[in-house]
Amino acid sequence: MSNAGSDKIKTTEFVRPAFDSYAQAGFFLLLVLVPLIVPALLDRRNAGLEKAAYEMVPEDLGAFSFVKNEIFEKNDDLDILFLGSSVMFAGIDAAEVRDSLNRELGRPAKIAVFGHYFNSIDVSYVQLRDLLEHRRVKMIVYSIPRSQFTEGPSPSGVRFIRYNDVPELTPELPLQGKLSLYASSVLNLPKDLLSLTRRNLEPPSPFAEDLGADVQQMAMGRDVGKFVRIEPPPPGFEASELVGSTDDRSKFRFSKETVSDYQKVFLIRLFKLASDKKIPLVLLNIPQLHEKRSPKIIGLDDWAREYGVETEIIGIAPAELFEGLADSEIEKLYFDERHFNQNGNEFFTRAVLPGILEVFRQNEK
Amino acid sequence: MLNFPVYALTLIVYVVCSRLSLAHSGPRTSMRLFAAGNVLTFGWLTLLTQVDPWSETTIRDLGSSAILRHIALVGSYVALIAFGYVLVRRFARSDGGASWIAFFYPLLLLIVFKYLYFLWQPIVKIANWEPWVLGAAIIGLSYMAFRLSYLVLEVRNETVEMPTLSEYLGFAFFLPTMLVGPINPFREHQSSIRAIEDREIPYGRCLMRVLVGLTKFLFLANLANQLTYSGIFLDGKPHLLIDLGIAAVFYYFFLYLNFSGFCDIAIGIAGLMGIKVRENFNNPFAARNVKEFWNRWHITLSEYTKDVIFTPLSKVLIGKLGVRHANSAIALSIFTVFLVIGIWHGVGWNFVLFGLVHAAGVVSNHLYTVFLKRRLGREGYKSYNNNRLVNAFALLITFAYVAFSFSVFANDRAMMGIIKNAIFS
């Protein structure tokens, strides 16, 4: 264990300088500056990393590989796109909607759910934008996330979106959010560069069978052992009871929780994108567990009025939705406070299905 | 993240107060203040790992059982270390084998707290503590145990004066080197404190070391970490075989940037106080063999194991086996050294394997060197060593060997299963 290194350290020095030479200092500076500068120059969409953007997101953040296939591997029209974060991801039984629409249309309907974990609007916007660049969509059903917004990229957005991915709206982003987005681009740079040098492998998406919905994955740490299967008969609502607008103030109560300035930019752009492409966008209200006896539909804010968006809302007051069910039965419909489990997913989808089909019918006309 | 300003403020106050206390004219008071400052700051920082000082509930809970428990645990930790001082005074310069009592005491503490954790589990369970409570109070014991055991040898060999209790505690709880070293010998610590008034501190150089260390530790290491085993293979997706190589290389970079960055910070901060801390890294990527790697990587650990295990053990073995079997004795000593290094790094079979892989590397190098010297002669061996092609190949092989050896260090059995499935399923 003798010191075999030819360039021994001078042990007599009190504190060694940080660098032994100017060349070493220059190399270090380069090592720091390159990752700081490259994200400003790297445009993934022009660098052939458009698909890799989806492939790089870990599977436990959502159905990104399914969404990638829907966007880049298919080119037929999509009848209904369900868009939203984890509440929509776990809340809609897309196969049930597809089967009903098949019967209605007399042909195979094309349905997809673009969902992911964590509350985010930024991810939904980018996914919708990319989809509309490749496929036509006849109707969008969007569930606006309702709490825990970050003043910057969402937890899924940190892994998914880079600074140059959204040039159309970066000027509008608040400075703090812009800096956060840039910082996440710096942090993700090694993976972006790795994707440039070798291809990413993609597994078959576990969500493909359920058209992108998180129905059977028992995801988000759900304790399978605690899951109790129940199949309460769905309430038979008429479409007219389910579809409305916020003009009818007696049906709604807005919690007045605010979306962060950063996510608000994406939300406004998401509405505008649908509007520019003349795609009907309808909001779907998915109730939370603590609202179970509320006589009114509870929303985050009156988006239609706030942004001048003319859109319909599909929803039903939780007290009506769960009428006849005991509290203990309602709890068995939820995975946690905000997310339906498989029981709730099926129950809720069947309850609101007439409304979804009615809005689709109207738009087809 | 919320605690970052508190950590930064604590660090600044700690450095300024330590510098001021060391500048105090009375050496006894000076050392008492210095020791108290280190122990109290240690208690405060370990408390910060458990509570959020900005939280209203924390303020309400001040004086609550959790905080009192932490004070009691840290107090007990200090008392256990102080008992080590009693043993140093009593036995370090005793004749016969008594000095080993003082030498092994800190190592015994390490074994009991780190490796025989199951002994404490009933107490933790009965007291209804969270599993990390005890660990949070004895942070830094691994490095402290080695420094304090080495101190006993220094006292026994009279390379240092017998420390006072304040000097001993100030050295034991010296914050910059507590967490991840370097394993600074006491003679370096003591002599630099005693020469503090005669030395002009190169503040600019020290601050630059801190800045470079922070950049390595917080920025570059995090970037490198994106392509390590956990960065690449925990995404639930299949991967190409080449990703294993990429992860191995970047894990090596990550470890270097993380560890050497922290050591830069420690050396810089200690320097600001006027205390010299030994260098722990010397461009390990330039190593031409595994033996040289350990003279460039975690240098103070290599020096400790050389002085404490390798030299005495190889002498004893050569004495017992005879000079004819010197190579076997050296090989056995090397395996012992790296077994200890492996186990010291962590609990688990993968750490043992890590030690054995490096032992195999060093022993192979030793035997290959002996073989080459015999085969080529002195001049031939010299020209072989100076051959550029040989050097380049040696650099590459060593880099690859070390990078892949860290795969067993980085990944436990479960993680290895994940990697295997990602590549081969």
Each residue of B294-305: pLDDT tens digit?
A: 999 999 999 999
pLDDT of residue A3: 41
- From the list B220, B267, B292, which residue is nearest A4 (CB)? B292
Whether B236 sits inside 8 A of A189 (CB atoms) is no
Average pLDDT rounded to a whole number, residues B44-72: 72
Whether A11 sits inside 8 A of B271 (CB atoms) is no
Average pLDDT rounded to a whole number, residues A28-51: 94
Residues from chain A contacting residue B224 (CB–CB below 8 Å): 190
Residues from chain A contacting residue B208 (CB–CB below 8 Å): 17-18
Residues from chain B contacting residue A192 (CB–CB below 8 Å): none
Residues from chain A contacting residue B246 (CB–CB below 8 Å): 194
Whether A1 sits inside 8 A of B294 (CB atoms) is yes
Look at strands A313-314 and A243-244 and give their pairing: antiparallel
Average pLDDT rounded to a whole number, residues A78-102: 92
Helix (H, G, I), strand (E, B) or coil at A274: helix
Interface probe with B: pick from A2, A7, A14, A61, most Cβ of B within 10 Å: A14
- From the list B223, B276, B294, which residue is nearest A190 (CB)? B223
Nearest residue of A to residue B264, measured between CA atoms: A18
Rounded CA separation A289/B138 (Å): 43
Q: Which CATH class is domain A38-364?
A: alpha beta
Q: Kindly report the backbone phi and psi dihedral angles of residue A240, in degrees, each rounded to the nearest multiple of 5, phi listed first.
A: -65, -25
Whether A203 sits inside 8 A of B267 (CB atoms) is no
Whether B223 sits inside 8 A of A8 (CB atoms) is no
- From the list A5, A31, A65, which residue is nearest B296 (CB)? A5
Query: Any chain B CB within 8 A of the CB of A250?
Result: no
pLDDT in tens, B331-365: 999 999 999 999 999 888 899 999 999 999 999 99
Query: Any chain B CB within 8 A of the CB of A191?
Result: yes
Token pair 């007219």 is found at A240
- From the list B212, B282, B310, which residue is nearest A9 (CB)? B282
pLDDT more than 70, % of chain B = 96
pLDDT in tens, B377-421: 989 999 999 999 999 999 999 999 999 999 998 999 999 999 999
Whether B250 sits inside 8 A of A55 (CB atoms) is no
Residue A342 has pLDDT above 50, yes or no: yes
pLDDT in tens, B184-224: 999 999 999 988 877 788 999 999 999 999 999 999 999 99
Query: Any chain B CB within 8 A of the CB of A22?
Result: no
Query: Any chain B CB within 8 A of the CB of A21?
Result: no
Q: Which two tokens stand for residue B273?
A: 């106080």
Average pLDDT rounded to a whole number, residues A308-324: 89
Q: Which two tokens stand for residue B275?
A: 């205390």
Residue B81 has pLDDT above 50, yes or no: yes
| Most confident range, picked from A103-107, A199-203, B27-31 | A103-107
pLDDT in tens, A243-255: 988 777 778 888 7
Spatial neighbors of B96 by CB under 8 A, at least 6 apart, are none
Whether A201 sits inside 8 A of B240 (CB atoms) is yes
Give CA angle at B82 (B81, B88), nearest 5°. Answer: 95
Nearest residue of B to residue A36, measured between CA atoms: B219
Packed helices B242-273 and B388-410: angle between N→C axes, nearest 10 degrees: 90
Residue A9 has pLDDT above 60, yes or no: no
* Mean of pLDDT over chain B: 91
Average pLDDT rounded to a whole number, residues B72-96: 93
Amino acid symbol at A213: A
Residues from chain B contacting residue A203 (CB–CB below 8 Å): 236-238
Rounded CA separation A159/A56 (Å): 8
Query: Any chain B CB within 8 A of the CB of A194?
Result: yes
Smallest CA–CA distance, residue B422 to chain A, in Å, is: 10
pLDDT of residue A4: 42
pLDDT of residue B1: 44
**Omega into B185 within 30° of 0, i.e. cis?**
no
Whether B237 sits inside 8 A of A200 (CB atoms) is yes
What distance separates the 2 farthest-apart alpha carbons in chain B? 76
The answer to whether B149 and B62 have CB atoms below 8 angstroms apart is: no
Query: Any chain B CB within 8 A of the CB of A168?
Result: no
Rounded CA separation A62/A54 (Å): 10
Average pLDDT rounded to a whole number, residues A126-133: 97
Whether B242 sits inside 8 A of A198 (CB atoms) is yes
* Cα–Cα separations (whole angstroms), residue A41 to A163, A179, B376: 10, 15, 55
pLDDT of residue B318: 95
pLDDT more than 90, % of chain B = 74
DSSP tally for chain B: helices H, then strands E: 21, 0
* Cα–Cα separations (whole angstroms), residue A142 to A86, A92, A331, A341, A356: 12, 11, 24, 19, 11
Rounded CA separation B193/B177 (Å): 15
* Helical H segments across B111-202, by residue range: 121-126, 133-137, 141-156, 165-172, 186-194
Binning pLDDT at 50, 70 and 90, where does residue B170 land?
Answer: very high
